[in-house]
């Protein structure tokens, strides 16, 4: 149930980001769910490898280089997914920042719910 909830929140966040950030186009809600699923799979497979390969940059930037990795992964998903396009790196970077904020809020509220049980 928790994974399903996170998937829905991620898809809704992608829809909102596509409406807010110029340069990001999303064809509709169905595509938002597909892109959220693809993004989760890409983050699960490629992100740990990229984090390991760019560890010196991550250490030098105190972890801020992770936003660049997230932006490239979102840009990559836009390249392989139908109905989702990003015109450049900066819209992908802004989307990565906004998705990170949404994920942090979801994690924060999820931890508060567990503590209150």
pLDDT digits (tens, 9 = 90+) for 100-111: 999 999 988 877
16 in any annotated domain: yes
pLDDT in tens, 13-24: 999 999 999 999
Q: What is the mean pLDDT of the chain?
A: 92
Which DSSP symbol is given to 88? S
Radius of gyration of the chain (CA): 15
The total number of structural domains that make up the chain: 1
Instruction: Quote the pLDDT of residue 52.
Output: 96
Collapsing DSSP states into helix, strand and coil, what is residue 54? coil
111 in any annotated domain: no
Instruction: Quote the pLDDT of residue 113.
Output: 58
* Spatial separation of the C-alpha atoms in residues 64 and 59, rounded to whole Å: 9
57 in any annotated domain: yes
How many other β-carbons are positioned within 10 Å of the β-carbon of residue 21? 18
113 in any annotated domain: no
26 in any annotated domain: yes
Instruction: Quote the pLDDT of residue 34.
Output: 95
114 in any annotated domain: no
pLDDT, average across residues 52-75: 95
Domain span at residue 13 reads 2-106
Instruction: Quote the pLDDT of residue 107.
Output: 87
17 in any annotated domain: yes
101 in any annotated domain: yes
């Amino acid at each position: 149930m928790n994974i399903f909830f996170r998937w829905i929140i991620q898809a809704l966040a992608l829809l909102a980001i596509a409406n807010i950030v110029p340069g990001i186009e999303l064809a509709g809600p169905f595509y938002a769910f597909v892109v959220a699923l693809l993004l989760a799979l890409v983050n699960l497979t490629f992100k740990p490898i990229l984090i390991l390969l760019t560890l010196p940059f991550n250490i030098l930037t105190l972890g801020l280089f992770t936003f660049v990795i997230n932006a490239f992964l979102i840009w990559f998903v836009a390249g392989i997914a139908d109905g989702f396009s990003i015109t450049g790196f900066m819209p992908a970077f802004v989307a990565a920042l906004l998705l990170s904020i949404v994920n942090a809020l979801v994690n924060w509220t999820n931890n508060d719910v567990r503590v209150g049980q």
